[in-house]
């Protein structure tokens, strides 16, 4: 009996503390509240604490329902830490989650990726600070990437996983990473997203307005999230 109790204890100790959330054919594997939580810098060249030094255009929110600048934050640099410019610097996922959008050659975002992080993946302090409910997710958009994204909607992403490299696609006049953070209903995906261009389809325009101006996806300063390190 003593050996049986010992065996059960060892199983409890060494079994990963994981929970599973299923949505259609996609499964989330996320840590429970006792597991470690990590936020990754979106740029491999700079740590979280160094990011404020390379902000080229800060968050400057428009009134609700409007599309004026600036609903995210831009990062750019020249001759920094041995790099000539930010062009080509690896972009990595701030949080784990799944691909909600992987769109090539959109306008104004260019090559973009959106990663959805479900409520269950987030620690209490982030949930409380951002006011996220259990039916919502945190979405992060990475725009103006150098190459077309090599992902499919639903792909599982780990934190610090490479998503692409900094580019100047879309309406970017110079190489930079445009980062947007939003809270919205869980499980939403975007197969297209474009506006301000004659080639944009009706669906792409509707998705753009849903993301940017509908109020369903509420933007906030990305630096508020990135300071949780």
Q: What is the pLDDT of residue 188?
A: 97
- In this prediction, residues 163-179 reach a mean pLDDT of 96
**CB 99, CB 78: distance < 8 Å:** no
> Domain map of the chain by residue range?
40-63+70-226
Task: Identify the CATH number of the domain defined by range 40-63+70-226.
Answer: 2.70.70.10
Of 33, 212, 201, 26, nearest to 116 by C-alpha is 26
pLDDT computed for residue 153 by the predictor? 98
Cα torsion 18, 187, 68, 205 to 10°: value is 150
Q: Given this model, what pLDDT does residue 35 score?
A: 53
Q: Does the structure show a pLDDT above 80 at 147?
A: yes
Contact 86, 45 (CB under 8 A): yes
Q: Give this prediction's pTM.
A: 0.84
- pLDDT tens figures, 1-38: 444 433 444 333 333 333 333 333 344 444 444 356 78
The pLDDT value given to residue 61 = 87
Which three-class secondary structure state does DSSP give residue 129?
helix
């Amino acid at each position: 009996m003593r050996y049986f109790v010992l065996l059960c204890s060892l199983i409890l100790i060494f079994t990963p503390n994981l929970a599973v959330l299923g949505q259609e054919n996609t499964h989330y594997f996320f840590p429970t509240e006792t597991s470690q939580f990590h936020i990754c810098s979106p740029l491999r060249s700079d740590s979280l604490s160094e990011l404020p030094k390379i902000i080229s255009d800060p968050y400057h929110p428009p009134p609700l329902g409007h599309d004026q600048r600036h609903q995210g934050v831009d990062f750019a640099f020249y001759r920094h830490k041995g790099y000539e410019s930010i062009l080509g610097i690896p972009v990595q996922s701030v949080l784990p989650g799944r691909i909600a959008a992987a769109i090539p050659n959109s306008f104004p975002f260019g090559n973009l990726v959106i990663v959805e992080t479900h409520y269950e993946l987030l620690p209490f302090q982030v949930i409380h600070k951002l006011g996220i409910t259990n039916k919502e997710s945190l979405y992060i958009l990475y725009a103006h990437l150098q190459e077309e994204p090599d992902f499919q909607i639903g792909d599982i992403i780990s934190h610090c996983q490479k998503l692409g490299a900094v580019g100047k696609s879309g309406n970017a006049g110079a190489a930079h990473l445009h980062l947007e953070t939003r809270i919205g209903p869980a499980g939403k995906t975007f197969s297209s997203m474009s506006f301000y261009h004659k080639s944009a389809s009706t669906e792409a325009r509707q998705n753009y307005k849903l993301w940017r101006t509908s109020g369903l996806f509420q933007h906030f300063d990305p630096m508020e999230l990135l300071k949780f390190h």
